[in-house]
């Protein structure tokens, strides 16, 4: 294991976040506060409870999930796309590093960032809603799993993308809509058909539901199913990353 190299990349990636501090930290926090004002304040005054949970508290896991999903994907994709775009990737490829080590460093840094953001948002949320976390251990576990899995997904997108537009397409065209549809701000039982059935295919439903379970002890689908789904998606991303390095896809001509 080239520990020095992993640590070097990890630290450089974290430094990149410090360089763009406002962009990285402030924007998601401000957006989240707005969500609380709109959904928690305006709508929450009409909907008091969802499944026995205060509406303001109910949307907290959804908001955190939304942040983890979008941030993991965008952090990791920019993290690897930037050196490819500037061609500084040559240095990474010529270094005595294995594929696993490269993925570990970039995905680790991206996941760390989105977890930091998730915790900041969780802290911010306590000002807006009465929060009581039933299974803190599981909550952390879901956060970690989701952050790592979607950072891995972002890493793959960063290698696949051939322009900044393509880089932005997946988060804005897929992740955000699926999260909104996936019950971030409401219980999916409240959706009319055919959306309710369609949602069974929506991966975000399982993530949000499992995460919500760790807060309130209830979720739309079983927690086992949530875990299994995240595991499957992670395995798919790992397989794809492995294939990328094996074939050199867009990294090594």
Partner 1 sequence: MSSMISVSSLRKTYKSGLVALDGIDLEIEKQEIFALLGPNGAGKTTLISVICGTVGIGSGTVRVGGHDITQDYRAARAMIGLVPQEISLDIFATVWNTVNFSRGLFGRRPDPAYVERLLHDLSLWDKRDSRVIELSGGMKRRVMIAKALSHEPKILFLDEPTAGVDVNLRREMWALVRSLRDKGVTIILTTHYIEEAEEMSDRVGVITGGRILLVEKTATLMRKLGRRKLTLMLQHPLAYLPAGLDQWELELNQHGQVLTYAFDANAEDNGIPALLRRMAELGIDFRDLDTSRSSLEDIFVGLVQQAA
- Residues paired with 53 in a beta bridge: 50
Residues 91-150 within binding reach of partner 1 (CB under 8 A): 91-98
Spacing of C-alpha 154 from chain mean position: 9
177, 189, 239, 252: which one contacts partner 1 (CB under 8 A)? 252
Q: CB of residue 1 vs partner 1: minimum separation in angstroms?
A: 9
Q: DSSP assignment, residue 170?
A: H
Q: CB of residue 156 vs partner 1: minimum separation in angstroms?
A: 19
Q: CB of residue 104 vs partner 1: minimum separation in angstroms?
A: 14
Do residues 74 and 154 make contact, with C-beta atoms less than 8 angstroms apart? yes
Interaction pattern, residues 27-66, with partner 1; x per rule: CB under 8 A: ----------------------------------------
CB neighbourhood size of 190 (10 A): 12
- Interface segment toward partner 1; rule CB under 8 A; list 36-44, 79-87, 181-189, 224-232: 79-87
- Interface segment toward partner 1; rule CB under 8 A; list 37-45, 46-54, 83-91, 133-141: 83-91
CA dihedral over 86, 87, 88, 93, signed as positive or negative: positive
Do residues 207 and 118 make contact, with C-beta atoms less than 8 angstroms apart? no
Nearer to partner 1, 45 or 247 (CB): 247
Which class for 192: exposed (0-12), middle (13-18), buried (19 or more C-beta within 10 A)?
exposed
Q: CB of residue 160 vs partner 1: minimum separation in angstroms?
A: 16
**What's the CA gap between 184 and 65, in Å, rounded?**
8
Site for partner 1, rule CB under 8 A: 2-5, 7-9, 12, 15-16, 19, 83, 86-88, 90-98, 248, 252-253
């Amino acid at each position: 294991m080239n520990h020095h190299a992993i640590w070097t990349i990890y630290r450089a990636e974290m430094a990149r976040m410090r360089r763009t501090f406002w962009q990285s930290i402030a924007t998601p926090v401000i957006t989240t506060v707005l969500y609380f004002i709109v959904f928690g304040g305006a709508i929450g005054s009409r909907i008091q409870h969802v499944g026995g949970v205060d509406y303001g508290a109910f949307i907290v896991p959804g908001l955190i999930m939304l942040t983890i999903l979008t941030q993991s994907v965008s952090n990791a994709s920019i993290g690897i796309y930037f050196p490819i775009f500037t061609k500084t990737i040559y240095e990474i490829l010529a270094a005595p590093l294995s594929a696993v080590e490269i993925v570990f460093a970039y995905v680790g840094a991206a996941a760390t960032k989105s977890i930091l953001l998730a915790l900041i948002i969780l802290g911010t949320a306590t000002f807006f809603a009465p929060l009581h976390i039933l299974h803190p251990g599981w909550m952390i576990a879901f956060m970690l799993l989701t952050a790592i899995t979607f950072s891995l997904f972002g890493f793959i997108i960063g290698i696949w993308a051939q322009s900044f537009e393509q880089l932005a397409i997946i988060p804005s065209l897929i992740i955000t809509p699926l999260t909104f549809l996936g019950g971030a701000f409401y219980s999916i039982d409240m959706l009319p058909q055919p959306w309710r059935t369609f949602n069974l295919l929506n991966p975000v439903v399982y993530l949000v539901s499992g995460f919500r379970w760790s807060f309130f002890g209830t979720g739309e689908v079983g927690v086992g199913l949530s875990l299994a789904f995240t595991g499957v998606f992670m395995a798919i991303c790992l397989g794809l990353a492995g294939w990328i390095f094996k074939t050199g896809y867009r990294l090594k001509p």
